[in-house]
Amino acid sequence: MDSENISYVDINGREAGPASEGEPPASLSATAADWYLSLCYEDLPEDIVRETRRAILNTIAVATAASSLEYGPPVRQTARELGGAGRSQLFGYGDVTSKSAAAFANATLAASLAYDDSHTETLIHVYGTVVGAVLALAQEHGATGREAIAAIAGASELTCRIGVIAPTAFHRRGLHPTGIVGAFGAAYAAARMLGLDRARTVHAVGIAGNLASGINQCWVDGTWSQLVDNGWAAQAGITAATLAAHGYTGPAEVLEGPLGLFRSHIQGDGERFDFDRMLHGLGRHWEMRGIEIKPYPCGHVSQPFVDCALALHRAGLRAADVERVTCLVAAWMVPVVCEPLARKRRPATPWHGRVSLPYTVAESLAFGRLDAASYRPGSLASAELLQLADRVGYEIDPDAPAGSAYKGWLRVLTRDGRTLEQIHMGGAGEGRGMSEEAFMRKVEGCLSLGGLGSRVQAIADAVERLDQADSVDELMAACRPSQAQEAGA
């Protein structure tokens, strides 16, 4: 990489040259550590506390749902074989293992249905990694509920703020920022939960830079490997913080340094890194308000198109009525969810279907729903459904918004000659506007799929009372299957 072709903005907003020339910029990781380690529950705005509770409940619910499907057994068995003794519980199963193995398993399961969450500007999945890491550590080390909430909120905020230094730049290079940026958020969370001081927290974040990873190749063939990015980020953060606790060191300028995360991973002429955004207004303006808890189990950019399809179904449109469906998309979405079109219309696996806009629109129109029970093998093999997917194409919408807003636009030509249209705007945190009723329907559906339908209210109540709890034990007990359920697992 030719560093002279890279420009960036330092933490004071000044244009700067390569970090190796002259005075290096102040350490971002250390300044963020100062804020995070001093953050108290009482410092959190009311809406951030509410959102953090939702993040906890949603993560437990979607992970529990995934535990009952094909994704669960390999993750559970891996945690059993590699985890060893501990007090941290696997969602959906009730097994207890080491904190790192539980964090890995729970965060991986949380990602498995693409039903978790996404920061709308950066497309980073935040909560699964952070909640998975913090709850595992809280069980092992006896943290209070308030401490768990503060740790989750603060680490989620820092994950978002690292991501906005270069929004979607990782994606454009075939990388998956959830596994990369998420490892830093988990390292902050683990450092706090382990009681590290400022210096060792900075070392932990520096070490995380060598553990962070993630690529998007599995979007091509529908294999599962990307799903471990959440889990590996959680385990990497715990590993980094544990190493730092025992005296291991890592670079303070792991983010902004000349060989740090951004300048090593994001290479190209004229690339700009807005390092100031990581720290500007920290504690006053909350970037995590831009995290959307997903209403549908599919890729983030497909969500408003699902809204359109479901609205058309509610209005009476059925698969048999459809001659052709055109999705009007932003150009940058094409290689993500639209092409190669023939492969997107014939997803090889449920995961492959979740990242296919043509198939996702077809299933939404065919059944009038998209939830935790969608994308099943029977649907993927349905001749009628695949014929509908063949009638779903796309065109470029030159006026599609950029940034954190997403536009869903479907144009349907019916077999009797009518043209129907639906447009829906999504993103910019609008998923947090999901009504409490809709959110709880999602939670109930996921927990029921995972065998905990009778525990929905108990789990929700335990989350609601978490700020008054001396530990997270009540919550984890509510999530534990009965002995009969465990025996049948």
pLDDT score, position 430: 43
Task: Mark the ranges of the chain whose per-residue pLDDT is less than 50.
Answer: 1-25, 429-432, 484, 487
Cα gap 209→197, rounded to integer Å:
19
Residue with tokens 């809280």: 138
pLDDT score, position 37: 98
pLDDT score, position 486: 56
Q: Dump pLDDT digits (tens) for 169-184.
A: 998 899 999 999 999 9
Cα gap 469→135, rounded to integer Å:
13
pLDDT score, position 11: 32
pLDDT score, position 433: 60
User: 124, 181 in Cβ contact below 8 A?
Assistant: yes
DSSP letter string, 176-198: -HHHHHHHHHHHHHHHHHTT--H
pLDDT score, position 269: 72
Phi and psi at residue 283, to the nearest 5°: 90, -15
The pTM (predicted TM-score) of the whole model is 0.91
- Expressed in percent and rounded to 5, the helix, strand and coil fractions of the chain are 55, 10, 35
Calculate the alpha carbon distances from 148 to 67, 90, 330 in Å. Answer: 23, 17, 39
| CATH code, 13-293 | 1.10.4100.10
User: Per CATH, is 300-429 categorized as 3.40.50.720?
Assistant: no
Domain coordinates of the chain in residue numbers?
13-293, 300-429
Q: Dump pLDDT digits (tens) for 147-174.
A: 999 999 999 999 999 999 999 899 889 9
Q: Are strands 405-414 and 7-9 parallel, antiparallel or unpaired?
A: unpaired
Cα gap 35→21, rounded to integer Å:
28
Residue from 429, 387, 444 nearest 303 by CA: 429
